[in-house]
Structure formats: structure tokens, C-alpha cells
Copies of this chain bind each other. A is one copy, B any other.
Amino acid sequence: MGDRESLSKRVPLRFWGWGYESEELSPDEDRIIESAVRQFVPEGAVEVAPPCISDFQLPPSRLTPPASLEGMISSTPYDRLVHCYGKSYADLVRMYLRQADAAPDGVAFPRTEADIEGIFDYAQQQRLAVIPFGGGTSVCGGVEPDVGESYQGTLSLDMQYFDKVVEIDTTSRRARAQAGILGPDLEAALKPHGLSLRHYPQSFRFSTLGGWVATRAGGHFATLYTHIDDLVEAIRLITPNGLIETRELPGSGAGPSADRLIIGSEGVLGVITEATLRLQRRPKFRATASVKFANMLGGAEAVREISQAGLFPSNCRLLDEAEVVLNRIAARPCSVLVLGFESADHQVDAWMQRALEIVREHGGQVADDAVICNPADQPVRSGEAESWRNAFIRMPYYRNRLTGLGIIADTFETAITWDRFPDFYRAIRQGMAKAIEEITGRTFALSCRLTHVYPDGPAPYFTFYAVGDTTGNLCNALERWRDIKVTANRLVVELGGTITHHHAVGRDHRAGYELQTSPLFRRTLAAAKEAVDPCGILTPGVLVDPINQRMGITGALKEKYRHPK
């Protein structure tokens, strides 16, 4: 078997990091990275080469699928490695370390719901853990088949063949699509109808509709329709115990929402095969502005007022001083607000004008040439917004190389009410700075932006760069990352935030999830899971422990949580 042999029909993914195999950093980008690393490691860092498939000695697959499933299950090294991890820092560094102990025994590529039922039957009979897999872009250990000791094997369930848009209703602005469809394919199918989901997580090119729904992904809109939750009208879920489908309705008050139980279930209740989506018409009118504030907390006051004004900007991203410097958005440290309104229906001048009144009342400086009201078919060219957006999209590619250079590049995100935000922001910065200094003994960078805002509070998103190791010993870097990540998790939850606003819980946020939720709610969720998955085969260890077993933390953080409470 060749190294690349696969049952996948997609453009080959880079198995060890972000992007497609064929995508490389440009020479310019390489120079930027090298110069950035020298800021942290003036003496130069030893660079570890990225892995090849032949570097890995995977344990033999434990699967002996029945004839009916043989054609849809792959156990080639490439397929097993692609489905071994998500795309977090810990996932990358473990690939650099040639650690793939948790690689699935096989990868199933079902083409129909009956195929999925067949896979569930097989898994229940053989006591295999089954982990649904969309685009594999989890950054919290969501797709890693590290499932504890009580399974006879692990199977990643790749939904890529569920890639059709089934129905489009332009009257109600809805579409029903299969869950394995990738972001660009979904948008391409909607575009001829003048429609768009307008949901662009950073992973958009690689992630799937089903993954967005299962993880409560955060998207394009900074206000109002922040999570995919709000864009889902109905769902089909195949569980080991049968089908749950919800009715396509604009609203209902008939009992607790079944959709909202499935949304965010992270693969523990079943496999989402279809979702009906609430769409937008493609915007015709846009206004964009960027505004400078002396500092983050001053800018946050303006953003708070905007978020409570009922103006609903589509973009309202506030970058703190460190974020601005890190992304070379302004020459001098300041806080920058990237503000945007869009509409398919009307000019948005009145909306933007009122928002700019608010920012000026809060001392925001609006550059005259930074305010653009233009039809949406002309590209928006606000310098700050554009350069920030480029950095945002390219950042995961940079990390591919930074990891080999021993630099820890990671993010964490949360949400908190406005009354607590100033103290929270200061305490996170102080606490993280102290932790990173103590753990690494080196210089570091830590920045924050508000990605989404609500009338009752913002969703802050923190990015940090720290020195993991300079000598090519990436075990050391992984260990430092663990210490930093545990600190971040603890601080975020202890200070009143949520362990995740839109990255999901997975394995890396499990301890924080348990801190912030009532034990009785988790038992209730476990009981609901048992009703649909009585053998506990689905995604063991995420959100819910397997039946009659306390797994605690698995995945990249398990060394730090040997004795969970």
C-alpha cells in the first residue's frame, strides 16, 4: 500500500498540521516567521522537521469488519493519521514528536444513513468506540480516539461523502444540506440562488456543516447570529438507537428544543446527517470602519454601548494593544475596533452613523478614509480590517512551522458578562503572564480581541506565543503547553467565564466544563446519552464518561489530570 492510499475523495489534507498537503508557506511568510521567532529566541532555535508517514509505527488495526462494511473502512496509515488528531497546538506537537498512539484502528467512510447504522451495529457488537469526524479542525481534542481502556478498538467516522445540498427554499431562505459538506461547497451551492449561510469560522475551508452544529461553532456575525445554533432550523441525527429528526419550523414552543440538545452534543449522542439552515440573502450594502481607542477597556465601553443599542453590526471586533502590535495593524500601541454593517435590503448608513456617534462619545478616533459605505459587489478595502483578516486566515499555517521551531502558539476563548469584563481581562492577562513567565522563563506575547459581542457581555479571544523549547526537545514544549493550558482553563472558569464560547469542550476543556456545570446536569445529559447510545460507543470521554466508567481527562492534557475529582 502506498503512503497516500485512502478512501477519501477529497484533496489530501496535511496529516500532521493545518491545510492541504499541497499548500506551502510563501518565502515571504517564512521570513516573517523566522524574524518573529528571533524576537523570542535571539540565540536561534533548533528546528525539528515535520514528520512523514513512514516516521510512524502504528499498532496493527484491531478491526475485523464484516464483509458488508469492508469496502467503506480504511486502515491505511495515511487515513489513520489524518483522523488521529485535530489541529490544536498539542496535536501538532505530538505529530512532530511522532506520537500517534491514539490513531484510530480504522476510518469508516459511509455513503448512506444505512451505512452508518451498519457501522453502529458492528461497533456495538465488537465494543468499538466510534468518533464522528467532519473536517478534523477541532482545537480541543474533539476528534481524538483516546477513549480509555474499555473498548476493543476505535473507528473514526468520516462524513465526507454526505456532501450534497438536498433542497433550497428561496421563499423562506432555507436549505437542507448533508452534514459532511465543506464550507466552500455549501456556499457554492447556495450562491446561484442569491443565498448564503454567512458562517465563516476560521476553519471554513476545511470544516463541515455537521462539525459546526456538533460543536456550536462561532461564525461571521459578531452580534445576533453568532453561533451556528441560531442558523439551524432542523436536524437529522442517526443514533445507535435510531433516528431523531426535528421538524422544519421557524419557531416552536413545544417542549424543550430537541435541536438545542443536539447542537453542541459533540458526537456523543449520534451522527448528524443533515441540517436545515436559515440563510441570508447575499449582502448588497456594506459599511466598514476602523476606530482607534487609547486602550482596550476604553474601546470595550464603546463596544458595550454598541452591543446594547440594537444596531447589530455584522462585524464588531475589538483588538487590544498587543493584538494590534502583533498583527502590525498600527504603528503605535492602541486598541482598534473593526466595525461593519451589511445588508441585502437597505443602505446601512444610518446604522453606521449611530455606531460612530457612540464610538466618538467614547473617545474613539475614526479615520475619515477608514469609513466606507459601498455596494457589496465591490470589495471592501479597509486597511486595518484587511490586514487583520489576512493574519487571521494565515495564522494556522504559520503555526505549522512555529511548532517545529519550538514556539507554542495557541489561543483560548470565552465569554463573560460586561460587569465582570474589565477585572476579568486584567486578571487573565496578569495570571497568564505570570504563568507563562514561570513556566517558560522566557519572553512571550499575549493578546486579546473580542470576536463576538452580546448585550450582556463580550466573547474575548486570547492568543499567546511562548517559548516551548529552543533545543529541538519538543517533549519539553508539550509539557510547558500543558502547564500553560491548565492555568488558562482554570483562570477562565474561576474568574466567571465559560470554558469555551465556540471552540467546544472536547478533551482539553473537560475539566473546566465540569467546574462550570452542575453535576446533576451532567448526569442528566449522561442519561439522555444512554437513551440513544446504550452501549456508550459514541465519542467516549467527550462531555460524558462511558457508562459505568470514570474516564476523566484523556488526550493531550491527561498527564496534568491524573486524578480528576
| Chain A residues within 8 Å of B, Cβ to Cβ | 169, 171-174, 215-218, 224, 226-227, 229, 233, 239, 241-258, 260-266, 269, 278, 281, 304-305, 308-312, 343-346, 350-351, 354, 415-419, 452, 454-459, 496-505, 509, 512-513, 516-518, 520-521, 523-528, 530-532, 543
Who on chain B is nearest to A418 by CB? B172
A310 and B343 contacting across the interface, CB-CB below 8 Å: yes
Cβ contact within 8 Å between A255 and B527: no
What are 29 inter-chain pairs, A to B, with CB distance below 8 A? A174-B417, A241-B520, A244-B518, A244-B521, A244-B524, A245-B518, A247-B517, A248-B417, A249-B417, A250-B418, A250-B456, A251-B454, A251-B498, A251-B501, A252-B501, A253-B501, A254-B500, A254-B513, A256-B261, A257-B263, A258-B517, A258-B518, A260-B260, A261-B261, A269-B524, A278-B456, A305-B345, A350-B351, A527-B530
A303 to chain B, nearest CB (A): 12
A266→B518 CA distance, assembly (Å): 20
Residues of chain B within 8 A (CB-CB) of A344 are 309-310
The residue in A253, A255, A527 that gathers the most chain B C-beta atoms within 10 A of its C-beta is A253
A309 & B345 in contact (Cβ 8 Å cutoff): yes
Residue of B with least CB distance to A351 = B350
Knowing A169-B417, A524-B531, A530-B527, say if A227 contacts B253 (CB, 8 Å): yes
Indicate if the CB atoms of A253 and B456 lie closer than 8 Å: no
Name the 6 nearest CB pairs between A and B, nearest first. A250-B457, A260-B260, A350-B350, A527-B531, A216-B253, A250-B454
**A245 vs chain B, min Cβ distance (A):** 6
Least CB separation from A530: chain B residue = B527
| CB-CB nearest in chain B for A306 | B345
- Are A173 and B525 in contact, with the CB atoms below 8 A? no
Q: Are A255 and B517 in contact (CB under 8 A)?
A: yes
B416:A250 contact, CB within 8 angstroms: yes
Which of B218, B309, B454 is within 8 Å of A253, CB to CB? B218
- Residues of chain B within 8 A (CB-CB) of A261 are 256, 260-261, 521, 524
Cα distance, A502 to B501, chains bound together (Å): 28
CA distance A234 to B524 in the complex (A): 17
Contacts of A523 in B (CB 8 A): 531
Q: Assess the B500–A417 pair: CB atoms within 8 A.
A: no
Task: With both chains docked as a complex, state the minimum distance between the C-beta of A86 and any C-beta of chain B, in angstroms.
Answer: 15
- Of B224, B311, B417, B520, which one neighbours A242 at CB under 8 angstroms? B520
Indicate if the CB atoms of A247 and B516 lie closer than 8 Å.
yes
Q: Which residues of B contact A215 (CB under 8 A)?
A: 253
| Distance between Cα atoms of A266 and B248 in the complex (Å) | 22
**Cβ of A521: which chain B residues have Cβ within 8 Å of it?**
244, 246, 258, 261
Query: From residue A458, how far is it (CB to closest CB) to chain B in Å?
Result: 7
**Complex contact B247–A172 (CB within 8 A):** no
Chain B residues with CB below 8 A from A246, complex form:
517-518, 521
Cβ of A264: which chain B residues have Cβ within 8 Å of it? 253-257
Contact B172 A419 (CB under 8 A): yes
Contacts A172-B419, A415-B249, A531-B527 given; does A517 touch B257 at CB 8 Å: no
Q: How far is the CB of A360 from chain B (nearest CB, A)?
A: 14
Known: A250-B454, A454-B250. A310 touches B308 (CB 8 A): no
A521 to chain B, nearest CB (A): 5
In the complex, chain B residues whose CB is within 8 Å of the CB of A532: 520, 524
Q: A456 touches which one: B174, B242, B350, B505 (CB < 8 A)?
A: B174
In the assembled complex, the Cα of A224 lies from the Cα of B311 at a distance in Å of 13
With both chains docked as a complex, state the minimum distance between the C-beta of A80 and any C-beta of chain B, in angstroms: 28
A249 and B498 form a contact (CB under 8 A): yes
Q: In the complex, are the beta carbons of B502 and A253 less than 8 A apart? A: yes
- Could you tell me the distance between the alpha carbons of A175 and B532 in the complex, rounded to whole angstroms? 37
The closest CB in chain B to the CB of A420 belongs to B172
Instruction: Name 5 extra pairs, CB < 8 A, besides A248-B417, A258-B517, A523-B531.
Output: A172-B456, A249-B415, A251-B459, A309-B345, A527-B527
Closest to A278 in B: B456
Q: Which residue of B lies closest to A342 (CB)?
A: B310
Contact residues in B for A245 (Cβ distance below 8 Å): 518
Q: Please tell me if the beta carbons of A247 and B498 are within 8 angstroms of each other in the complex.
A: yes
Instruction: Evaluate contact between B243 and A518: CB separation under 8 angstroms.
Output: yes
> Nearest chain-B residue to A264 (Cβ)?
B256
> Are A265 and B256 closer than 8 Å at their CB atoms?
yes
Q: Closest residue of chain B to A262, judged by CB?
A: B256
Other-chain residue from B247, B254, B281 in contact with A505 (beta carbon distance below 8 A): B254
Chain B positions within 8 Å of A509 at CB level: 254
B528, A524: Cβ atoms under 8 Å? yes
From B217, B312, B354, B528, contact of A346 by CB (8 A): B354
Q: Which residues of B contact A262 (CB under 8 A)?
A: 256
The CA of A305 and the CA of B521, in the complex, are separated in Å by 41
Residues of B close to A310: CB separation below 8 A:
312, 343-346
Instruction: Please give, as numbers and ranges, the residues of chain B lying within 8 Å of A258 by CB-CB distance.
Output: 517-518, 521
By a CB distance below 8 angstroms, the chain B residues around A224 are 224
| Chain B: CB-nearest residue to A457 | B250
**Which chain B positions have C-beta within 8 A of A248?**
417, 496
Would B517 and A233 count as touching, CB distance under 8 A?
no
Provide the residues of chain B in CB contact with A278, threshold 8 Å.
455-456
Tell me how far the C-beta of A133 lies from the nearest C-beta in chain B, rounded to whole angstroms: 19
